[in-house]
């Protein structure tokens, strides 16, 4: 039951983000962004922009075309991604 609630919330959030007129300072869509060198900086910039815009959260969503907000899928596996020996997720 708990899992279904999470799934419903995430589906609702994704629908809300996709209905924005464009990407914003605090919402970015990517298909397969895999530049591990700058990904941490990118996430920090989104978080800082969200704070400046008065938002609690920033979102970097993989699998969404950034020009049309269509769901296109991704082959990026963030839980398997590593920079050297360090896991990306941490």
**In the chain, what are the domain boundaries?**
2-87
CA–CA gap between residue 33 and residue 79 (Å, rounded): 14
Q: 58: closest CA among 24, 81, 31?
A: 24
**pTM value surpassing 0.85:** no
CA–CA gap between residue 83 and residue 10 (Å, rounded): 27
pLDDT, tens only, 2-55: 566 778 999 999 999 999 999 999 999 988 877 777 888 888 999 999 999 999
* Maximum mean pLDDT: which of 6-15, 49-58, 70-79, 80-89: 49-58
Q: 57: closest CA among 11, 17, 84?
A: 17
CA–CA gap between residue 54 and residue 48 (Å, rounded): 10
């Amino acid at each position: 039951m708990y899992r279904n609630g999470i799934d419903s919330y995430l589906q609702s959030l994704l629908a809300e983000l996709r209905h924005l007129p464009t990407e914003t300072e605090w919402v970015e869509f990517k298909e397969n962004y895999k530049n591990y060198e700058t990904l941490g900086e990118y996430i920090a910039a989104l978080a800082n922009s969200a704070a400046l815009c008065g938002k609690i959260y920033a979102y970097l969503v993989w699998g969404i075309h950034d020009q049309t907000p269509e769901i296109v899928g991704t082959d990026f596996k963030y839980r398997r991604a590593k920079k050297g020996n360090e896991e990306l997720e941490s």
